[in-house]
Amino acid sequence: MKKIIIAIDGPAGSGKSTTARELATRLNYLYIDTGAMYRTVTYMALKNGCENNPVEVIDRLKHSVIGLNYQDGVTYVSFDGVDVTEELRTKEVNALVSTISKIKEVRENLVERQKKMGLSGGVVMEGRDIGTAVFPDAGLKIFLIADIQTRAERRLLEINSKGKVESFNDIKQNLEYRDNIDSSREVDPLKCAKDAYQLDTTELTIKEQVDYIYNLAIQKLNQ
C-alpha cells in the first residue's frame, strides 16, 4: 500500500500531539513532533544566554544536531547528542518558544530539516505550518482548533500530571500570547491551509479525533 504524508496543524492545546501520536501508531507511520524542534532551539538559546541575540541563535543552530526518537509513546529529543527531553516543557521555554520560532532563519533551517525527515512519506507530522510551508502537497492536511478555555484546561492537566504547578490564568495568558505571535508572524504564520480539513476538538475525545482522521487517511490511501 502506498504511504502518504499527513500534516496536522493547529494552536497549542488543540490536541495535535496526542492525536498525531495515536494516528501514527494506528497507521504504522513515523510520528514527527516539529514543535519539539523549536522548543529545543529555544532551550539552547536560554541555556547559552543568547535568547535576545538572533544572530547567535542562528549561528548555533546551523552547527547543531537535533535528534528526535519516538519510543513507547514518548518523543525523546537530543541536542548535539545530549538528551534534553525533560527540559523542553518548562515555563521558561513555554514563554519564549513562539518568539524564537518567528525568527526567519530559524524557521528556514528547521523546515529544511523537516522536509528531509518526511520526504519518503509514511509520516504523521504535526506543528503549525506543516500543511502550508513544510509539505504544502501533503496527501492529507488537518487543522485542529479548540476554544481557549478547553485548551488551557488541557495544558493544566498535562502540567499537573508531571508533578509541576502552574496557575490556570498564567497558562491561558501564555496560550493567548503564543496564538497572537504564531498567527501574526511574517514567516509561515499559523493558518489553515485552503485544502485542509478543519476539526474543532473542543467537545471531542482523542479517540473521536483519531477515528475521524484515520478514516480520511484510509480514503486517501484507497484513491
pTM of the model: 0.90
Domain annotation covers residue 54? yes
Structural domain that includes position 164: 5-211
From the number of C-beta atoms within 10 Å of its C-beta (0-12, 13-18, 19+), residue 170 rates as middle
CA 9/CA 190 separation, integer angstroms: 8
- The H-or-E segment that residue 69 falls in is strand 66-71
pLDDT at 25: 94
pLDDT at 71: 83
Domain annotation covers residue 217? no
Domain annotation covers residue 43? yes
pLDDT at 151: 97
CA 34/CA 52 separation, integer angstroms: 22
Domain annotation covers residue 222? no
CA 33/CA 180 separation, integer angstroms: 21
**DSSP state at residue 85:** G
What is the three-class DSSP state of 185?
A: coil
Query: Which residues on adjacent β-strands are paired with residue 1?
Result: none
Domain annotation covers residue 218? no
Handedness of CA 42, 43, 44, 47 (dihedral sign): positive
Domain annotation covers residue 223? no
pLDDT in tens, the chain (223 residues): 689 999 999 999 999 999 999 999 999 999 999 999 999 999 999 999 999 999 999 999 999 999 998 888 788 999 999 999 999 999 999 999 999 999 999 999 999 999 999 988 899 999 999 999 999 999 999 999 999 999 999 999 989 998 888 999 999 999 999 999 999 999 999 999 999 999 999 999 999 999 999 999 999 999 8
Please give the biggest Cα pair distance in the chain. 51
CA 79/CA 66 separation, integer angstroms: 5
What's the number of domains the chain is made of? 1
Task: Return the CATH number at 103.
Answer: 3.40.50.300
Domain annotation covers residue 57? yes
